[in-house]
Amino acid sequence: MTLMRLLLIMLLPAALAAATKIESYAVQLHATQEGQGQGTVTLSLSDCTPGMLVVPLGFSAPEALKIEESPVGVKLELGPRNGMTSLHFHFPEGMPAKAILRFSFAVKQVFQVLQLAPGEKSTLPKGSRLFRHAFVNTQETPIGTYRLELLLPEGFMAQAVREQLPKPKKHEVGPRVLLSKAAGHQTATLQFTDLHQGDDTSMVLELVPTQRSIGWLLAGLLLAGLYLVKFKDLIAKSRPVPAA
């Protein structure tokens, strides 16, 4: 057997799976107050063929990878990390042409603590955080729609969207990042369509605590008390003196 034939045989499974299309790629990430995260990814596939499908993942250190839903015989393993996490799905013979793959993973640290330069004063409340997410389609398989939904934990809200890339195209309606509420949590959703190899999308959120500190509460009560005393004095001075 020649070396060329051997290489073709080794590359055949990957070449077959390259025909698989990713119609949609939906990520839902639940963040906890402690900063951990639990993610679920749902892939909607068409034109599936036996072999290996490589899927990029926009998280650098996923843990506890587990398939939650898939056709019989599909296997998942973590691929090599070359600056970007990749997942290897192995499709068996008899793989249906259309399929839903759903898998879960865990993230140790979802948020980043704000770092200040020496002598710099923060303009945000104590305990504020940053959330950064970037996704790059590193593979030849195009992605119809990529969607990431972040569910913020109780006690936090998104005060500002620092980054939302790429800028919306003329035919797109609405912002790249949408803030809303779902199941009692504030959510931030990043969405981008028609990702070819090398296309990327990202967002950066500024998160602040929703509960004010006791210091701010006491200061507010003190100001309210001073206002009431001053208002009482003004009323007393403006009241007409009765005639003798």
Give pLDDT tens digits along the chain (244 positions).
455 444 444 444 444 455 899 999 999 999 998 999 999 999 999 999 999 999 999 998 899 999 999 999 999 999 987 767 999 999 999 999 999 999 999 999 999 877 767 777 777 778 889 999 999 999 999 999 999 999 999 889 999 999 999 999 888 888 999 999 877 789 999 999 999 999 999 999 999 998 654 444 455 566 666 666 665 555 555 556 555 5
In a domain? residue 46: yes
Q: What angle do CA 33, 34, 35 make, to 5 degrees?
A: 90
Q: Give the per-residue pLDDT at 1.
A: 47
In a domain? residue 51: yes
Task: Give the predicted TM-score (pTM) of the model.
Answer: 0.78
In a domain? residue 121: yes
The sign one gets for the Cα dihedral 5, 10, 12, 14 is negative
In a domain? residue 5: no
Quote the domain boundaries for residue 180.
Answer: 13-212
In a domain? residue 60: yes
| CA dist 59 → 62, 82, 104, 105 (Å) | 6, 12, 12, 10
Q: Give the per-residue pLDDT at 237.
A: 57
Q: What is the CATH number of the domain that holds 204?
A: 2.60.40
In a domain? residue 4: no
In a domain? residue 240: no
In a domain? residue 105: yes
Total number of domains constituting the chain: 1
User: What is the pairing mode between strands 143-151 and 21-31?
Assistant: parallel
Q: Give the per-residue pLDDT at 95.
A: 96
Residue range 155-196, pLDDT digits in tens: 899 999 999 999 998 888 889 999 998 777 899 999 999 999
Sheet holding 185-195, edge to edge: 63-69, 99-107, 37-46, 21-31, 143-151, 185-195, 177-182
Tell me the two tokens of residue 184.
Answer: 């009692």
What residues contact residue 77 under an 8 Å CB cut-off, 6+ apart?
65, 87, 88, 90
